[in-house]
Each structure stands twice: as structure tokens, then as C-alpha cells.
Structure 1
Amino acid sequence: MSTATRTAATAKLQEQFDAGLETRADFTIDQPFERYRAVDHAVWRQLYARQTALLEGRVCDEFLAGLVRIGMPAERVPSFDEINAKLTPATGWRIVAVPGLVPDQVFFAHLANRRFPVTWWMRRPDQLDYLQEPDCFHDLFGHVPLLIDPVFADYMHAYGRAALAADDAGALPLLARLYWYTVEFGLIRDAASPNGVKIYGAGIVSSQGETLYSQQSGSPNRLGFELERVMRTRYRIDTFQKSYFVIDDFEQLFEVAQTDVAPLLQRLATAPAFAAGDLLPGDRVLTRGSRAGWQDDGDV
């Protein structure tokens, strides 16, 4: 649950503070399991059933394997302690409960120490298809299954360390774009799948609409992943993406994790950014988007 595009506490976070939940200096809380109502478990159950059925054949094998290994319950909101009992022995990661979006540096510090912040509260029944701020389903179902995969787990750890070390404010947009186009909205090559890709990004796997759009729509560009290109490319937070970046395999992310990005961040800090839908001469274009439904402004 990144605050890549926001640095201040949101109204939802303030609401959690006002509710009297004891919040520590690192923004973590004890998961208030007793606060979940029947409607919260029903929303989890509905979303879990819908997404697992939809993702079959569309999401990468590592995600499905992680879902099984963790033993995420289908019928109720999971206990974070139960998840950690499987996750921590496997890759050293654990999830920590937070009230909502947290400041960037807090988030990076958690990742750098193999802690993944998970929003504790569940969306309402009328928010099944769209939610402006990440909830428990997005954070837990979308992100955590891949944290039990050792290669992806190491990538997330390396990302957190690099982001925490980047104290130059000019580097934050570059790191936000890398997170967005990999962890949140990443695709991975699969020759047997529609448009030659499968899904791994949490923002896609937790969304019915973006699951179908990212893999099957003719509108977006699907481009081969290249680190500098990704860091210089703006993105969308209000609509489906205009472009997706496609990794060959998770080993490619492992290579990124081994890269000293500090010189790159320094070099690119003043470089102009590309629009979300731009195609450049050096791009490896898997599919060229039709641009149907694109908005002309609003790139972040």
C-alpha cells in the first residue's frame, strides 16, 4: 500500500486516528479483528470468489502458487497473524496493519525491513468495482501472495532500501513510477496468453475491470520493460493505464534489485518525463494501443 503519489495523511487515515485506534510512531496498529462486521466478511468473500475465478489463466503462476502456499481464507477477512505464520518462515517478510495510506518515508522504511503495510479496513458493498484508496482486499489479496515468492520478495526488499536511501526529493517521482509499473500494474510475458501477457501487478489482480482491460483490450500499449524508460514515464490514477510494461520473467526484476540505482536517480532527476501513452523509437512494442477512450490530460 504505497503513498507513491501522496505524502500527507489522507482523510481516511485521519478517520482511523479519530476512531481511537492506538497508532504507533511507524503508523502500525494491532489488527482490530473484533471490528470486522458480517458485511466486511461478506465483501471479502464476494471479492475473493470473483477475482480467483477471473484470474484463472490470466494471472502469473507465481501468484496462484502464493495464494495456495499462504492459505488465504476465502470465506472471511484473514487474520494477519495467520498469514505471517506462513509468510515469515518462507521469505522473512511479514505484514503489519496500518490505518490507511502512510507517508512515503514510513512506507519505504517498512519495505526496507521486509514489512509490508496492509490497510486493516474493508471497502463497502457499493465500492466493489472502484475504491480511490487501497483497502484490506487490495493490499492483502493483491500484494501478499507474491511476497512468498523468493525472487519477488527480494525485489520488494531492494526497492524499499533504494527508496529509503534516496533522500533527494527529485528521485521520488522516479521511484513512484517504478513501483507503479511493476508492483501495482506489472505484466509478464506468456506467449500462450492473450496479447502475449499475464498479470502480476496488485492493482490489476485486485480489480475486475483492469484485469480484463490490461490483458485483452486493444486500447493500451504493452511495452517491454526497460528501467530508465519506466522511471521516466507518467501514469494514470483515475483511469485504466495507457501503457503497461512487460517483464520477461521475475529474474528481470531480480536484476533490477541488484542494480545500484543511485547514479541513475541522480542522472534522471532533471530529465523530462514521458506522457503515459507515448511511444518512443527505442521501445520494444508488444502491442501498439489503439488509444480508444484515452483522456488527453491527467497523467501523474
Structure 2
Amino acid sequence: MAGLIEGLPSGLRGDYAGLGADLTLAQDMAGYAPADHATWRSLYARQAALLPCHAAAAFREGLDRLPFAAGIPDFARCSALLRAATGWVLVAVPGLIPDAAFFGHLAARRFPVTRWIRRREELDYIVEPDVFHDAFGHVPLLTQPDFADFLQAYGAMGETAARIGALKPLARLYWHMVEFGLIREGRDPRLWRRHPLLRRRDAACDRGRCAAPAALRPAAGAAQRLPHRSVQPTYFGIGGYAELFATMPALPALLAEARDAAPIPPGAAAPGDQPL
């Protein structure tokens, strides 16, 4: 089992003992206590109240199609809905998994979702992704065909990135696009997805105090280091989802360039950055 999770940080909270060869395990819906579902509902209510002002329309539409309001969702039920819409399914994982395995699942239209949920005292912030982070934050956009197709193509890029030693830049770019990406709707930049770690006091989300995002440049995103334990200082944005596919042909060369370049510190501007 140690070889399957080589390279992951020590002390992760998930139960990695029962992993299969593909690094998945059973969700075990019966293992969730009533308090776990109550925590989900508290998180859902808080985030849902912020969606009209801050989340992209495609995210809100996708969320409306999923059985998320009542408590921790059953992955099998969600997978049936996603499979009919875009051919995706959800697979349960204990938490973080190595980049190569993660991108391999995306390439096969399987989205890994952590099965455990945070404690009540962690409603505002949690370092590791939990089931709410993964399901609420990512799954709604998988109902949208354009985004679903892009994410599969991005996952397929993992094989190329592994071959040229550029998995880290591919993961960095995923962070800046899929974890914290913005899209322009009208005059406003909105989150592609509603990141569950962001709060009203996050400078990137407060109306009137929005951090000035830069237009997406894959080379800059792939080189920018990730601020895992602080508020996100840099946001990259797009004008529409079609721009995502436009990044794909040049991505192998850009990943190789980022692999060999000095990483850009979190929040620092790169040459050529333009306001969104």
C-alpha cells in the first residue's frame, strides 16, 4: 500500500488501509452519523447563500440538478445522474491521492471524491479536501458538457506530463483553473465553482474588494506556487469555457517550460499578465 501513495504528505486524515489498486474504496453511506449530515447541511446553507453573487451560472444550474441539499450525497445516485448527463461517475477516495492517479481517473471520466467530512469546528477552513469540498465544489460543473469534456482532456494530459516529468506544473495549473478559476459574466468575474473554503472576508470574494484577476495564461499558472495554507492571492480568469480547449494543443510545451523554470511565488505577477 505504501507504494500506492508514495509522495503524499504524512499525517493525512483519511483511512488509506482499504485502498484498491486504483486508489479508490467504498463510500459506505451507512458509516455517516447524523452529525455528519448536519455538518454538510450547515456548510451547504452557508455556501448556497453566496452563490447568486459569486458563482457562475453554469455552476448554479448544475447544483440544482444534484441531490445535495439534504445531507452527504450518495455517490452512486449522483453517478447515475452524471452518467446520463455527461458520462462521468464519482469514485470514493480516502483523501488526497498522487497526481498521476488523480489525472488518470479524470482521463477515464471518474471524479475522485473524499469520503470523510470535516468537524464542526472546521466549518470556516480545512487544510485537506473533504467530501464537501470535493462534491459541492467540483461536481456541479460535471453536469455541463463543455466543462466535462475539457476536464477529461485535461486528465488525459497527465500521461504526457508524467512522461516528461511535468506532473507538478500540471497540478499547479489545475489549482489555478479548476480550484480557483474565474469566468467573466457580463462585467463581473465569477468563480467557475464555489470554493467551499472561501468566506465573505476573503478579499477575492467580497463585493467591492475583489482582487484584480489576471487573464488565464497557462504558462504563468503552471509556474505559480500553491498557497495551501493561506488565502488565495492570485486568480486567473477566462471569458468563456471555450478558452479552456484553446489551451490544450500548446500545453505539453508549456508544461515542459514550467518544469524547467523557477517557480513564481504565490501572488507574484508574471511577465505578460493582463487584467481580466
Q: TM-score, normalised by structure 2?
A: 0.90
Structure 1 partner of 2:196: 206
1:274 and 2:264 matched: yes
- Partner of 2:204, secondary structure, is helix
Residue number among 109, 113, 127 corresponding to 1:132 in the alignment: 127
User: Given that residues 7 and 104 in structure 1 are in contact (C-alpha distance below 8 angstroms), is that contact kept between their aligned partners in structure 2?
Assistant: no
Cα distance in structure 1, aligned partners of 2:33 and 2:184: 40
| Aligned partner letter, 1:199 | L
Classify 1:210/1:10 alpha carbon distance in 2 versus 1 (closer, same or farther; 3 Å): farther
| Aligned partner letter, 1:103 | P
- Partner of 1:242, secondary structure, is coil
| Aligned partner letter, 2:19 | T
Residue number among 228, 231, 237 corresponding to 1:237 in the alignment: 228
Classify 1:7/1:220 alpha carbon distance in 2 versus 1 (closer, same or farther; 3 Å): farther
Structure 2 partner of 1:63: 59
Shift of 1:251: 0.9
Structure 2 partner of 1:26: 22
Cα distance in structure 1, aligned partners of 2:67 and 2:149: 21
Structure 2 partner of 1:90: 85
- Partner of 1:117, secondary structure, is strand
Residue deviations 1:234-263 (CA, integer Å, cap 9, x gap): 231111111110111111112224x25223
Cα distance in structure 2, aligned partners of 1:183 and 1:17: 25
Structure 1 partner of 2:3: none
Residue deviations 1:110-158 (CA, integer Å, cap 9, x gap): 1111101101111111110111110000000000000111111111111
User: Given that residues 218 and 251 in structure 2 are in contact (C-alpha distance below 8 angstroms), is that contact kept between their aligned partners in structure 1?
Assistant: no
Shift of 1:66: 0.5
C-alpha RMSD of matched pairs (Å): 2.1
Q: TM-score, normalised by structure 1?
A: 0.83
User: Given that residues 186 and 245 in structure 1 are in contact (C-alpha distance below 8 angstroms), is that contact kept between their aligned partners in structure 2?
Assistant: yes
Percent of residue pairs bearing the same amino acid type:
40
| Aligned partner letter, 2:87 | G
The more displaced of 209-218 and 114-123 is 209-218
Structure 2 partner of 1:254: 245
1:77 and 2:72 matched: yes
| Aligned partner letter, 1:57 | C
| Aligned partner letter, 1:8 | L
